Structure 1
């Protein structure tokens, strides 16, 4: 006996995907969502582009193994580097050198601030460090909670990556007869994956634009003016990496670049921050334009979706809004409602 007919199966699949998307942000599963779908999208795209040369099943298996090895290598490398930093760089002479570098950085920042704010206190690096450690001590509970959240997000991300790889491998199996409800649910997930892929790959273009603008500023404009930004090459790499994260990535790079500029002068820090703010504001329109083109939506539609989701869910909603809107529009088009 068939419990659900085709129409009821379709409606039920829409209800389930709606519940999933509605609970994604409140349950703090955004990182897992991005990680799992990103791995799946990468494997799917690589497999699809290589189907001319390799059989689809073997291509998917090959790229699943390759992506798995790369991810495992990066995780192991990160853990080893962190352990090495804690056990070697923060002990003995290395610790003294690390402290000396921090002292020099704090002295440079302090000297620049005092030029513009003579009443700035404390005047010594030692007291500045003492106040910093006192602040950390007072907010130890919050920092511990933040650390726990980071570890939880990291664990969830790894699990989601494994799930994404497993789903990619599962598609190697030949497809048999699929019940109506299962087919409808798979169609919803495929549409969501398509929307995710369109938006995320568009974000890569946006990150490249941000990086190019930073290169123009840090490697061309500033040297012409006789100024060399500290860690310019490292900041360029970080700008691209963090630029892959919508909105938040820009905030992180803006902070790092401003702090680096502050070691030279407050004036340069203000100029850098102003330049970055302009880029940050332009990103709303660049983001909307590029993503809108990819999902066949006008810029104002994507901007409106971002504003509404930001008002409801905060910064997380701002990040995920283009994906949700792209998925909604794809489903509406398939049902010939728009």
Structure 2
């Protein structure tokens, strides 16, 4: 006996996906959502583009294995580098060199600040470091809690990636009769995956634009003016990597670039910060324009969705807003409601 007819199955699938999307942010599963769907989207896109040359089932299996090996390799490499940094770089001469570099950096920052704020204290890098360590000691509980959250998010991200790979592999199974509810639910998930893929791949374009603008500023404009930003190559790479994270990525790179500029002069730091703020504000419109084009929506629609979600959920809502709106619009179009 069939419990749900086709119409009820469709309604039930919409309710289920709505509940999932509604609890995603309150349960702090955004990182897991992104990592799992990202792996699934990459495998799906690669296997789809290679189906002309390889059978679809074997293509998914091949790319799943390759991506699994890449993820495992990156994790092992990261852990190995961390162990190497702790055991070797933070011992002996490397520790002395690191302390010297930190002292020089603090002295440069302090010297520039004192030019504009003569009453700035402390006047020695030693007391500045003492205050920093005292702050860390006072907030040790908060830092420990933050570290625990980071480890939990990392573990959740790995599990979500594994799920994404397993879901991709599940499509290798031969087709058979599927109940109406399962068909409807799979359709919802496929639409969500399509919306996610459109938005995330558009974010890659946005990150490239941000990186190009930073290259123009740091590699062309500043050298012409006689300034050479420290760690400029590293900052360029970080600008692209963090730029893949909507909004928050820009905040991270803005902070790093401003601190680097502060080692040269306060005025350069202010100019850099002003430039980055302008770029950051432009990203709202660039983001809305690129993503809107990808999902056939006007820029103002995406901007409105971002503003509403930011007001409700904060920064996390701002990040997921384009995906949610893209999915909503895709579903409405398929039902001929818009």
**Shorter-chain TM-score: which interval?**
over 0.9
1:78 shift after superposition: 0.6
Distance across 2 between alignment mates of 1:158 and 1:30: 13
Deviations 1:300-326 (A, max 9, x none): 000000000000000000000000000
2:121 corresponds in structure 1 to 121
- Residue 296 (structure 2) pairs with residue 296 (structure 1): yes
Distance across 1 between alignment mates of 2:18 and 2:95: 52
1:51 shift after superposition: 1.1
- Residue 262 (structure 2) pairs with residue 262 (structure 1): yes
Q: CA RMSD in A?
A: 0.6
Deviates more, 1:52-61 or 1:260-269: 52-61
- Residue 37 (structure 2) pairs with residue 51 (structure 1): no
**Could you list the runs of 4 or more consecutive aligned residues of structure 1 that deviate by over 2 angstroms after TM superposition?**
none
Deviations 1:215-234 (A, max 9, x none): 00000001111111101110
1:198 shift after superposition: 0.2
Deviates more, 1:31-40 or 1:135-144: 135-144
1:103 shift after superposition: 0.7
Distance across 2 between alignment mates of 1:164 and 1:56: 17
Distance across 1 between alignment mates of 2:224 and 2:66: 43
Distance across 1 between alignment mates of 2:22 and 2:291: 22
**TM-score scaled to structure 1, two decimals?**
0.99
Distance across 2 between alignment mates of 1:185 and 1:5: 14
1:177 shift after superposition: 0.6
Distance across 1 between alignment mates of 2:85 and 2:161: 26
1:7 shift after superposition: 0.5
1:92 shift after superposition: 1.6
**TM-score scaled to structure 2, two decimals?**
0.99
1:141 shift after superposition: 1.0
Distance across 2 between alignment mates of 1:232 and 1:99: 21
1:93 shift after superposition: 1.7
1:40 shift after superposition: 0.4
1:91 shift after superposition: 1.3
Structure 2 portions without partners, runs of 5+: none
